[in-house]
Amino acid sequence: MSIFGSDKLKGKKIAIVATDGFEQVELTKPKKFLEDEGAEVDVISLKSGSIKGWDQTDWGDKVDVDKVITDVKASDYDALVLPGGQINPDKLRINKDVVNFATEFMRSGKVVAAICHGPWTLIETGLVKGKKMTSWPSLQTDLRNAGAHWEDSEVVVDKGLITSRKPEDIPAFNKKIVEEILEGSHAPRVNV
């Protein structure tokens, strides 16, 4: 147990999928928060080594990559976190391995959390129809066109699917991730 956290998520494994251009605080703050709660967190990317964040208006810090997307499967993890930024999810949503990984999570009923532009990748799964979601405001039309019910709230939860709008929402986003993981699996998210 961390002196700053707890063992609430001890034994839980969380995947954060990102690539160059992720909004820095949308990866680093959830990662630290979840680790402080006892979870094992892997940063998964398109390439090994490190990825570079975007810090508001310019390039930020590098983050080490733990695993490459082609070497992981959703069954290895209890939750998926998708940080935003404009560059990162735009690259991720066109990568078939990332989309397949996210699709496995969406179908499994496990916790899926996406912030800012992160829901772009979830749109590609074809499984957001009928889901209550939020995002960075510029994605609301994309989400509505994919059949989601978009709302302007700091955090929206729909059966373990957690979405938030922006960096200022991170505290509520982090808290909901922990709550939903502790609640356990939800019914698989399949569209009829």
Residues forming the active site: 116-117
Question: Rounded distance, CA 160 to CA 184, Å?
Answer: 9
State how far the Cα of 51 lies from the Cα of 62, in Å rounded to an integer.
5
Please name the amino acid found at residue 157: V
Contact predicate 44/15, CB 8 Å: yes
**Spatial distance between the Cα atoms of 38 and 5, rounded to a whole number of angstroms:** 7
**Distance (Å, whole) CA 184 – CA 32:** 21
Q: How far apart are CA 179 and CA 184, in angstroms?
A: 9
Alpha helices, DSSP H only, in 84-185?
87-92, 96-108, 119-123, 140-145, 170-183
C-alpha distances (whole Å) from 49 to each of 21, 52, 64, 124 are: 15, 10, 6, 26
